[in-house]
Amino acid sequence: MTLMERKKSAQNLAETIHSLLGLKSNLTSNWIRSVCGIMRSLPSPRSSNRIGLKISDTEKENNTSDMDLSMVIPKIKDELAELSDCIRQLNVQRRQVLNEYLDMKGNIRVFCRVRPMNVNENIGCARPVVATDSSNVFLKVARGNNKSYSFDKVFHPSSSQGEVFSEVEPVIKSALDGYNACIFAYGQTGTGKTFTMEGTRDFPGIVPRSIEALFEHALESNCTYLFTFSMLEIYLGNLKDLFVPQPKKPTDPRPPCLSVQMDARGGIEVENLVAIPVSDYNQALRLYKLGCRFRSTASTNSNLTSSRSHCMIRIKITCSDAPERRRESNKVWLVDLGGSERVLKTKAWGKRLEEGKAINLSLSALGDVINALQRKKPHIPFRNSKLTQVLKDSLGEDSKTLMLVHVSPKEEDLCETICTLGFAARVRSIHLGTEDPIESARKEAAMQTLQETMVKIEDERQRISREIKDLNRKLENLMGTSPSYENDHSTTEEPEFDFGTSKHKAKDARAAPLSKLPRFMRPTICSQRKSGTEHQISEGKHLGQTKRRRAPSHRAGSVNFPMKSHSDYRSDCSISRASCLIDLDTMCNADTETEYSQDTNECDVKMVVLSEERRFPITTDGKAQLDHNMVLPSIGSKFYSTEILEVADGLNSQNAVNAAGSCKSKRVPAVPLPPKFRCNGQSNAGVSCTESSDAENSPLKGLIDICKNREESQKSYSSSSTSEAEIDKLITPSTGFMDTHSESCCRTPSLTNESMICTQHSIDALMILDHDSTNYHCPHDVACGRLDQNSNNGRVDQLTPMDGVKSETHSFEASPYEHREYCFSPFGSPHDSIGQEKELGVSTSNCNVEPDNSNLSLGLTRGDPKSASLFGKSTAGRQRDMLRMKHQRALFKDNANHNNAGMGLKRVSAEGNTQNTGTVVCPEICFTSHARNPFSLTFDRHVVSPPKEVLESIFYHSSGTGTPRPWIRG
């Protein structure tokens, strides 16, 4: 037999056998075995794989030319189709099992996360009152009278972000299966809700991880998904789209408020909410960061960057080619709720009080709703708040809900912790000991079985995936083209639930040895502790951990709007009807306020029909109009027709808006002044100044005039030599004012020596630990009046000659994990000298006083405070800066470039420009620390303090107690 004939006969035999194999049910296994034996004995045998033909590479090389490809290829394709069907069925099974598993766990699950003590709390008197195991929280209320609360899962203080997300992951997974999902972070203010949801650059929270997981799973799937990303906040009962540019000035037209609509099937839609399609993780993250910038945050007694609203992220998922999905279009809500707060404790007033009340009301309404859902009550009070209205179709039986309750470990927060845990217990409807042990054991066993089933399904999927991969490769070789079965949805070697492969994701070291299991099924640190198999791994310490490079999120407050009904101070935004219900003078606390939820009528579902002009306000500024048009949905968009915008358009327009002056629109919380310091005729400046003839005689008059002239002529400072000369004259100390050598400070408060008092108090009250007290002063609660040159025609009449000088150098060390804004004033704390504490609320307001002759050189170093470096001072620069600091804010930023010893001092001007500089001269220093590690700040001060009456009209410090100071002495 020639080689050619042998090949031909082998081929024919193989084909014959193969066709017979199609009738395999009629053939005996012995017969197949013997035929296969014959085939193996033939030259260049063709081995058979599962049911098809397998051609070795060498043989392919030799025989491709004469093989009858038209026979082999269809068979491989048939095989692939069969395997794809298998995978599809396994997917359906997996979905069912996952859903069953989640149902058993509960469609509404409540987790608890206990915040770790921060450095300041550790060194202070606070002692932790919260102890946890994997599902219980124990409160040390009194000796022998501990309280305990049970949760679906408890994350203790050392739990990592990855651990938290591992419990959230199944919900995200089931969102891809078409279920609506809702994940909340609830808790007292300052307990770490934003940390859990947003996280930091190095410790990304649930939002970035969820986005990433969604895209990863979608990629692995064989379906085509469309994701759209939206962000809104509920601020004082109003829905605000965080992607719509906010007005830069109070007079600018405001974008219309969003309204909630319901369709015939009970689906909820937020009308006009901008939804931007995103196709990958990076796009979504960019949008998220963008939206975060417009969130309303403010400083309170409890948290320097307190969220004053509920921030809601909506990811809408649409998939039309997966009939097995629960819905064609569904949504995931990720909600960072505003912090519940006891108004009496936070001492909030005015704006902050209203915000706190609005937050408490809606949280109470949310608790009512979830409780009613849990108890399967016939009436669910969705209409009691905007929050619950928006989430109506995402809470309930057909949805997955996760509530992450956050508590503080501090003793002084015990009351709030009890309230929070009580709320959680109410939501969960289960208190410790009320669960039937037999029933829970049965449930545990069933869940265990489901877990095992899922693992089996996952194994099978992987095996078939590998086969598909092999066949595809062969097909490619035979055809010389890419495989036609590219959409095999399980081509990856990784288990479907393992997210550790993403290039964006910080890898979880614990994933490796337990990779057999989906991550959310792997034991957590808690359970490992319980079972004695604890891995001593904490977040950030993993070897080889890939850090996610996330830019630090920037926060900015909302734009100020004049509030008519409260004319004695500037305020922002409108007041909801809910907040109006409550008398501002009433001293309530959070506990009593929660009773108001049923009275709130802020939440009626309404159809807002806006005129064209209102939807698209025509401004004289063509660009502004363009911005709005680019981002707002189209006029014609009706209910359920939220326009989908191009992500690039949205981002571009936002960037344009930001560049145009987002810094300008940052919140500058205004602080009302007591009547004695308020002057007639001035309302929009924090401090009003009557015109006084004394001003004409003021030694600062020259300086004031210079400023005025400068504004009028719009000249740059540097170009005005006259100005500089005059400034020089004014600021140069003549009678020993500028003592450049540090001298020891007068520490004896003496009303007769105001300059010393002021200088010392500014440090004592704002920065230095009060060793005699168990409490700390609240350094950030600096309320500043404004001497607004525009509104006051440039006169700063109350400033009188300077009468003191101090030069000091101090070094401090900030605590880690701070993402805070600090303010301090070289003028000092006047409340002692005034003789009474001013309970004027809190603010980290800009200080817009005229440049005085205080001079600060600021330097920032990382790590060792002793090695703090000072930026050099340049006389010329200082003079320029002194003027520039008017209406400016000094902002420290943790530079990404760690090699830079100075770490970069960035100044943000009123115009939004930033410039690196080494010297700051300003009457008040405000800066934001994004530092994760301790850093130190060293400054030289040369303060010439104004006399008491000037201080009284400019600065007030609230006397917040109990709030840990962000600073410790370095």
Ligand X SMILES: Nc1ncnc2c1ncn2[C@@H]1O[C@H](COP(=O)(O)OP(=O)(O)OP(=O)(O)O)[C@@H](O)[C@H]1O
Min dist. Cβ of residue 932 to ligand X (A): 9
Please tell me whether residue 966 adopts helix, strand or coil conformation: coil
Beta-strand runs (E) in 773-924: 782-784, 806-814, 820-824, 855-862, 889-892, 905-908, 914-916, 919-920
Identify residue 675 by its one-letter amino acid code. P
Q: Does the CA dihedral 22-27-33-38 come out positive or negative?
A: negative
Question: If binding is defined by CB under 6 A, does position 187 make contact with ligand X?
Answer: yes
Q: How far apart are CA 617 and CA 627, in angstroms?
A: 11
Question: If binding is defined by CB under 6 A, does position 357 make contact with ligand X?
Answer: no
Nearest CB to ligand X, comparing residues 211 and 348: 348
Query: What is the rounded (10 degree) CA torsion for 947, 949, 950, 951?
Result: 90
Min dist. Cβ of residue 436 to ligand X (A): 33
Question: If binding is defined by CB under 6 A, does position 339 make contact with ligand X?
Answer: yes
Angle of CA points 676, 695, 919, to nearest 5°:
90
Strands 136-139 and 147-150: antiparallel
Quick note: the x/- pattern for ligand X over 74-113, rule CB under 6 A, is ----------------------------------------
Quick note: the x/- pattern for ligand X over 585-624, rule CB under 6 A, is ----------------------------------------
Nearest CB to ligand X, comparing residues 187 and 669: 187
Min dist. Cβ of residue 157 to ligand X (A): 7
End-to-end distance of the chain based on CA atoms, in angstroms? Answer: 94
Among 229, 812, 817, 955, binds ligand X (CB under 6 A): 817
Min dist. Cβ of residue 596 to ligand X (A): 20
Which tokens go with 278?
């995103």
- Annotated binding-site residue? 188: yes
Picking from 815, 779, 760, the residue whose alpha carbon sits closest to that of residue 941 is 760
Question: If binding is defined by CB under 6 A, does position 189 make contact with ligand X?
Answer: yes
Question: If binding is defined by CB under 6 A, does position 342 make contact with ligand X?
Answer: no
Nearest CB to ligand X, comparing residues 199 and 851: 199
Quick note: the x/- pattern for ligand X over 26-65, rule CB under 6 A, is ----------------------------------------
Which tokens go with 610?
């806006």
- Annotated binding-site residue? 187: yes
Among 115, 678, 777, 878, binds ligand X (CB under 6 A): 115
Min dist. Cβ of residue 630 to ligand X (A): 31
Nearest CB to ligand X, comparing residues 208 and 339: 339
Question: If binding is defined by CB under 6 A, does position 548 make contact with ligand X?
Answer: no
- Annotated binding-site residue? 11: no
Question: If binding is defined by CB under 6 A, does position 959 make contact with ligand X?
Answer: no
- Distance set, CA 405 to CA 289, 351, 367 (Å): 24, 26, 12
Identify residue 10 by its one-letter amino acid code. A
Question: If binding is defined by CB under 6 A, does position 928 make contact with ligand X?
Answer: no
DSSP state of 469: H
Which tokens go with 463?
């095996």
Backbone angles phi, psi at 226, to 5 degrees: -120, 125
Min dist. Cβ of residue 930 to ligand X (A): 10
In the region spanning residues 901 to 920, those forming contacts with ligand X, defined by CB under 6 A, are none
CB atoms near residue 735 (< 10 Å): 8
Q: For 752-786, b where at least 16 C-beta lie within 10 A, e where not — what string?
A: eebbbbbbbbbbbbbbbbeeeeebbbbbbbbbbbb
Among 45, 106, 116, 253, binds ligand X (CB under 6 A): 116
DSSP 346-383: HT--HHHHHHHHHHHHHHHHHHHHHHHHHTT-S---GG
**Number of residues this chain uses to bind ligand X (CB under 6 A):** 20
Q: How far apart are CA 83 and CA 102, in angstroms?
A: 28
Min dist. Cβ of residue 194 to ligand X (A): 3
Which tokens go with 653?
């327009």
Stretch in the footprint of ligand X (CB under 6 A) among 31-39, 59-67, 86-94, 183-191: 183-191
Stretch in the footprint of ligand X (CB under 6 A) among 182-190, 394-402, 484-492, 627-635: 182-190
Min dist. Cβ of residue 232 to ligand X (A): 17
In the region spanning residues 268 to 327, those forming contacts with ligand X, defined by CB under 6 A, are 303, 305-307
Min dist. Cβ of residue 199 to ligand X (A): 9
Question: If binding is defined by CB under 6 A, does position 399 make contact with ligand X?
Answer: no
Backbone angles phi, psi at 137, to 5 degrees: -115, 130
Question: If binding is defined by CB under 6 A, does position 345 make contact with ligand X?
Answer: no
- Annotated binding-site residue? 190: yes
CB contact at 8 A, 45 and 14: no
Question: If binding is defined by CB under 6 A, does position 194 make contact with ligand X?
Answer: yes
Query: What is the rounded (10 degree) CA torsion for 753, 755, 756, 762?
Result: 130
Which tokens go with 964?
């840990």
Min dist. Cβ of residue 155 to ligand X (A): 8
Nearest CB to ligand X, comparing residues 84 and 305: 305
CB contact at 8 A, 860 and 918: no
Among 52, 192, 291, 804, binds ligand X (CB under 6 A): 192
H-run or E-run covering 937: strand 935-943
Nearest CB to ligand X, comparing residues 192 and 650: 192
Nearest CB to ligand X, comparing residues 189 and 759: 189
Among 7, 173, 193, 345, binds ligand X (CB under 6 A): 193
- Annotated binding-site residue? 189: yes
In the region spanning residues 819 to 858, those forming contacts with ligand X, defined by CB under 6 A, are 819
Min dist. Cβ of residue 191 to ligand X (A): 5
DSSP 159-222: --HHHHHHHHHHHHHHHHTT-EEEEEEEEBTTSSHHHHHTB-SSSB-HHHHHHHHHHHHHHHSS
Min dist. Cβ of residue 115 to ligand X (A): 4
Among 195, 229, 776, 824, binds ligand X (CB under 6 A): 195
Binding-site positions for ATP:
187-194
Binding-site positions:
187-194
Residues lying near ligand X in the complex (CB under 6 A) are found at 115-116, 187, 189-195, 303, 305-307, 338-339, 406, 817-819
